[in-house]
Amino acid sequence: MTIPSFVIGIAGGTGAGKTTVSRLVTQNLGDDVTRIPLDNYYEDRSELSFEERQEVNYDHPSAFEWELLRDHLETLLEGQPVEMPQYDFEVHNRKDERTTVEPTDVIVLEGILALHDEAINGMMDLRLYVETDADVRILRRIRRDVLERGRDLEGVIDQYLSTVKPMHERFIEPTKGHADLIIPEGANSVAVNLIEEKLHAEIEGNAMRNWERGSLERELAEKRSPDLDADE
């Protein structure tokens, strides 16, 4: 059983480069790391019509199911797997299927409000905030939402002005105050390399701890077995 030893949070505005940073720092770590996109914890909105779901403010903290996310992180930290929801941006709702996530040495939580919740911040060992200028972020978002999330230009602009920008200023930007490190301009290679090295070291240290725990458990079991034989 793997008990995760290192939880890292990556927050920042839309288009800042959170997903890119998270992908780059974990791409060489194989199965020792689990990436948890906060987007998967958007509330289930099946009770609403598609038109109603289009009107939801997805940048307000109330858009997320924090209780479920806390529960899943706690479960992973106890060494147990969870059934993670999946999100579909094209229909503004959760998918029907879930993915089984096994506990791994390192867990990366990534999303606009990854540093918002006090209890979740308390579970993290490293809190990062990716900071990129708003004009760069909106340009990236337009391209991504049109090409990958089934949106049109007018819709992206309306949403940006009505909710994305004001919520960024009110809720997302202030979480920078909870960060241990601020990464300027997204995926800068110096920051990415340093974080990757740190995660490598954590994984090696945790492998040793898990091995020691395993051999201690085996030793105890061997010591107990003569008594068990005697009882039989």
Ligand X SMILES: Nc1ccn([C@@H]2O[C@H](COP(=O)(O)O)[C@@H](O)[C@H]2O)c(=O)n1
Cβ nearer to ligand ADP, comparing 37 with 103: 37
Q: If DSSP codes are grouped into helix, strand and coil, which group holds residue 161?
A: helix
Out of ligand X, ligand ADP, none, what residue 72 binds, judged by CB under 5 to 8 A for its kind, is none
Q: How far is the CB of 46 from ligand X (least distance, A)?
A: 13
Cβ nearer to ligand ADP, comparing 2 with 20: 20
- Among residue numbers 159 through 188, which ones bind ligand X (CB under 6 A)? 164
Q: How far is the CB of 135 from ligand ADP (least distance, A)?
A: 13
- Among residue numbers 154 through 193, which ones bind ligand ADP (CB under 6 A)? 186-187
Cβ nearer to ligand X, comparing 148 with 217: 148
Q: If DSSP codes are grouped into helix, strand and coil, which group holds residue 84?
A: strand
Q: Does residue 94 bind ligand X (CB under 6 A)?
A: no
Cβ nearer to ligand ADP, comparing 140 with 176: 140
Within the chain, residue ranges assigned H as helices are 18-26, 50-54, 66-77, 118-123, 134-148, 153-159, 165-167, 189-231
What backbone phi and psi angles, to 5 degrees, belong to 17?
A: 115, 20
- Among residue numbers 134 through 153, which ones bind ligand ADP (CB under 6 A)? 140, 144
Q: Which two tokens stand for residue 115?
A: 């540093």
111 is in an annotated binding site: no
Q: If DSSP codes are grouped into helix, strand and coil, which group holds residue 206?
A: helix
Report which residue type is found at 124: M
Cβ nearer to ligand X, comparing 6 with 42: 42
One of 20, 23, 39, 198 touching ligand X (CB under 6 A) = 39
Q: Which two tokens stand for residue 143?
A: 């391209």
Q: If DSSP codes are grouped into helix, strand and coil, which group holds residue 8?
A: strand
What backbone phi and psi angles, to 5 degrees, belong to 59?
A: -110, 5
Total Cβ atoms within 10 A of residue 227 = 8
Report which residue type is found at 135: D
Q: How far apart are the first and last CA of the chain?
A: 29
- Among residue numbers 6 through 45, which ones bind ligand ADP (CB under 6 A)? 12, 14-20
- Catalog residues that contact ligand ADP under the rule CB under 6 A: 12, 14-20, 140, 144, 186-187
- Catalog residues that contact ligand X under the rule CB under 6 A: 14-15, 18-19, 39, 42, 58-59, 89, 92, 112, 164
Which residues belong to the annotated binding site for ATP? 12-19
